[in-house]
Amino acid sequence: MAAIWNEIILDWEGETYNVRPTIDFLNHLEQGSGSSLTHLLIRLGKNDLPSGKACELISKTLTYAGANVTPEDVFLATGGINVDMMQAAQIILVGCMPAPQDDKPKKKATRKKASK
């Protein structure tokens, strides 16, 4: 089975953290009010992603990958509003979208009737 998502790679305090999104990871990110991935992607597309949400998204991803970091740590390290921070949030959100599948024709599902 091919991977659904591409790996997300973030650097934090000299360490590189890798996350391959899973349903568990998506659910982890979506915990909390106003944190649906769809809502965050729409806001990102409108250049209206709040810096606090971006910091939270980055810290949740890094924590999932094994780092010990809070949204406040991210805010402090990036100065709150920072191009790198918004790019990291974009990398995470885009990484949560399914990877494009190749153009190979799909096998048709075969249906088998249950025996009585």
What secondary structure does DSSP assign to 69-80, as a single string? --HHHHHHHHTS
- Average the pLDDT over 59-69 and give the result: 96
Structural domain count of the chain: 1
CA atoms 94, 47, 72, 29: torsion sign: negative
Asked if residue 74 belongs to a domain, the reply is yes
What is the residue range of 21's domain?
8-95
One-letter amino acid of 95: G
Among 82, 32, 33, 85, residue whose Cα is nearest residue 62: 85
To the question of pTM greater than 0.85 for the whole model, the response is no
Task: Check residue 1 and give its pLDDT.
Answer: 44
Most confident of 33-37, 51-55, 95-99: 51-55
